[in-house]
């Protein structure tokens, strides 16, 4: 049995790898079976993994099991993988970075971790008025190491946090240093400016997804940053 474990905070890259692995198995004639690991029971998991498909082999995709909150049910699910009769390929994906303790129950898996590049943080920290030139340089530096959709998502998240920082800073989550940085950054903006920028980001997202623009997402962000 081959088990792939994909995890880390760079969700876009890890999901791309998940899809790539899935396609490799599909090309070999495997039929995918999906399991929500944070909700499944051990009985359901064992049934899906051990049931033999008479017509075409299965590849099992399990999302967010290893990062699930500790419980007796989770422990029972992990015990399923210790059975010697399991012979289906399994792709396990988690939306967070897993600890060594979380990985320990499946010692022989092929583990890959996907981390967000540190180049993203100087870029989103640079998003303040009258700083267009620096922001654009940092944007293209970040794009050398990160997927454009991950970068776009980080911009949306930061602008959302800046709005929260002006409205009710107590709602911000993260490290004390990160929260302090967000609050300080928000002071460079007015609330109407942030709300307008947030709406512009939503408009770009809609235009790209519906094909209602001739510009790619990178070009759209360049134009948006020029307006800061």
Tens digits of per-residue pLDDT, 88-110? Answer: 899 999 998 999 999 999 988 99
Q: What pLDDT, on the 0 to 100 scale, is given for residue 224?
A: 96
Q: Is the dihedral of CA 22, 28, 33, 35 positive or negative?
A: negative
Q: Are 144 and 155 in contact (CB under 8 A)?
A: no
Whole-model pTM: value is: 0.62
Strands 58-63 and 31-36: parallel
Q: Answer for the pair 64, 36: CB distance below 8 angstroms, yes or no.
A: yes
- CATH number for 120-226: choose from 1.20.272.10, 3.40.190.10, 1.20.1730.10, 3.30.70.1290: 1.20.272.10
How confident is the model at residue 79, as a pLDDT? 92
Q: How far is CA 119 from CA 4, 122, 151, 154, 226, in A?
A: 28, 6, 10, 12, 20
Largest CA distance in the chain: 64
* % of the chain residues with pLDDT over 90: 72
pLDDT at 55 over 90: no
Q: For 149-208, what is each residue's pLDDT tens digit?
A: 889 999 999 999 999 999 999 999 888 888 999 999 999 999 999 999 999 999 999 999
For residue 85, what pLDDT is reported? 65
81 DSSP 8-state letter: G
How many residues would you count in the chain? 228
Pinpoint the residues of the chain covered by CATH 3.40.50.300: 3-113
| Distance in Å from the first CA to the final CA of the chain | 53
Mean residue pLDDT across the chain: 91
| 12 pLDDT tier (thresholds 50, 70, 90) | confident
The whole-number pLDDT of residue 217 equals 95
Which residue is listed with tokens 């980080």? 154
Q: What is the pLDDT of residue 228?
A: 87
Closest alpha carbon to 32 in 65, 56, 5: 56
Q: Please determine, for residue 54, whether its predicted confidence score (pLDDT) is greater than 90.
A: no
CA-based torsion, 214, 219, 224, 228: positive or negative: negative
For residue 68, is pLDDT > 60? yes
Find the range with the poorest average confidence among 12-26, 48-62, 126-140.
48-62
Please determine, for residue 16, whether its predicted confidence score (pLDDT) is greater than 80.
yes
- Please state, in angstroms and rounded to a whole number, the distance separating the CA atoms of residues 2 and 199: 45
The CATH 1.20.272.10 domain(s) of the chain lie at 120-226
pLDDT value at position 84? 56
With 70 as the cut, is the pLDDT of residue 86 above it? no
d(CA 120, CA 156): 13
CB 139 within 8 A of CB 226: no
pLDDT for 45 beyond 60: yes
What pLDDT, on the 0 to 100 scale, is given for residue 172? 92
3-113 CATH, one of 3.40.50.300, 3.40.309.10, 3.40.50.720, 3.40.1440.60: 3.40.50.300
**pLDDT score for 25:** 94
**Based on C-alpha coordinates, what's the Rg of the chain?**
21
For 202-222, what is the mean pLDDT? 93
């Amino acid at each position: 049995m081959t088990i792939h474990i994909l995890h880390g905070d760079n969700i876009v890259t890890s999901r791309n790898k998940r899809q790539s692995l899935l396609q490799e198995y599909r090309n070999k004639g495997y039929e995918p079976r999906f399991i929500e690991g944070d909700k499944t029971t051990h009985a359901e998991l064992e049934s899906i993994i051990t049931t033999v498909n008479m017509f075409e082999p299965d590849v099992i995709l399990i999302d967010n099991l290893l990062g699930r909150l500790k419980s007796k049910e989770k422990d029972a699910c992990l015990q399923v993988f210790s059975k010697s009769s399991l012979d289906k390929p399994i792709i396990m994906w988690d939306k967070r970075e897993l600890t060594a303790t979380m990985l320990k129950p499946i010692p022989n898996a092929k583990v890959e971790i996907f981390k967000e590049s540190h180049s993203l943080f100087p870029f989103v920290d640079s998003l303040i008025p009258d700083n267009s030139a620096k922001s654009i340089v940092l944007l293209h530096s970040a794009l050398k190491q990160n997927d454009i959709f991950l970068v776009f998502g980080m911009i949306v998240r930061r602008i959302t946090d800046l709005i929260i920082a002006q409205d009710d800073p107590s709602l911000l989550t993260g490290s004390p240093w990160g929260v302090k940085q967000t609050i300080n950054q928000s002071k460079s903006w007015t609330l109407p400016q942030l709300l307008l920028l947030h709406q512009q980001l939503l408009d770009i997202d809609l235009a790209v997804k519906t094909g209602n623009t001739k510009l790619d997402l990178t070009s759209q962000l360049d134009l948006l940053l020029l307006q800061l």
